[in-house]
Amino acid sequence: MAYMAQATVRRPPEEEHLAEQERLLTELTEQLATREAEFATVGVELAHFRSSYLTRFAPLYAQLDRLEAEIARLLAGRFQEGDDAAREAAARAEEAEAQASESARAASSAEAEPQPRADPSPEFKSLYRQVAKVVHPDLADTDGERTRRTRIMATASEAYAAGDEPALRRILDAEAARPEAVVGDDAGARLVRVLRKLAQVRNRMTELVDLHSALAADPMWTLFNTMRQAKESGDDPLSDIQEKVERQIRSARAQLAALRAEGEA
């Protein structure tokens, strides 16, 4: 029996190149969606931490600052008016009173803030990541589509921050049901679209690095990041901070009581 050798059918070079770039785009899209979700999650968790921290500590710091302001006023009254020591003591008292007022405002604002939600669950993070893959503006083919996706992505980010799972699912369902117009389906046109999307995705990844750096510049970031790492080992640095502030309050009360007693004597 004779066998005929089957020739291997190779795709044209441009189609092979297109397939390679499409695979790369798929990989980078996955990475971008993950980084978008990670950045959004960190933003939500930082906001939650800030709210919880202020609720817990603003009243304590306000109390400590009021005590220190009163101590500074009593000490300032011991100096003869007009000399350098008196001026320095008066300046310290004024600074302490300003800090006490600022702390009191922060405590009032913290009390008025609604209690923060729990941090996003892994399932909710995954849902947001799916939405990012589907509607990310940097995967748009036209300026009009980019504008539309930018609006939807903003809505998705707001829903994520608010913990609104149904809203994210509605976005996914709406996108799945939306008919997409196909313009130019030849290999050349598809390659151009893929290359442009790759450039946009890479640019957005660079932007996310910069945005994360800006987030890390937040004054609350160091403590927040310490708390995230401490959770993994079961530590609670905030309890140590609270204990320290409460010791300072007790010490300030004792000092104030001693100063008042001296004044009465």
Per-residue pLDDT reduced to its tens digit, 186-214: 777 788 888 888 998 999 999 999 999 99
- Provide the residue ranges of all domains of the chain, joining segments of one domain with +: 22-119+182-264
More confident residue, 115 or 17: 17
176-189: per-residue pLDDT in tens? 876 554 445 677 77
220 CB-near residues (< 8 Å, 6+ apart) = 46, 49, 50, 53
Average pLDDT of span 236-254: 91
For 152-169, what is each residue's pLDDT tens digit? 999 999 999 888 999 999
Which two three-digit tokens encode residue 32? 């971008």
pLDDT in tens, 130-141: 999 999 998 888
DSSP H helices in 217-236 = 221-233
Whether the predicted model's global pTM rises above the 0.85 cut: no
Distance from C-alpha of 163 to C-alpha of 237, rounded to nearest angstrom: 27
Tokens of 249: 């309050």
The reported pLDDT for the residue numbered 180 is 53
Secondary structure letter of residue 177 according to DSSP = T
Residue range 1-14: average pLDDT?
Answer: 59
pLDDT score at 182 = 41
Q: What is the mean pLDDT of residues 96-117?
A: 72
Q: Could you tell me if 45 and 119 are in contact, meaning their C-beta atoms sit under 8 angstroms apart?
A: yes
Classify the phi-psi angles of 181: left when phi > 0, otherwise alpha if psi is within -120 to 50, otherwise beta.
Answer: beta
Mean pLDDT of the chain, nearest integer: 83
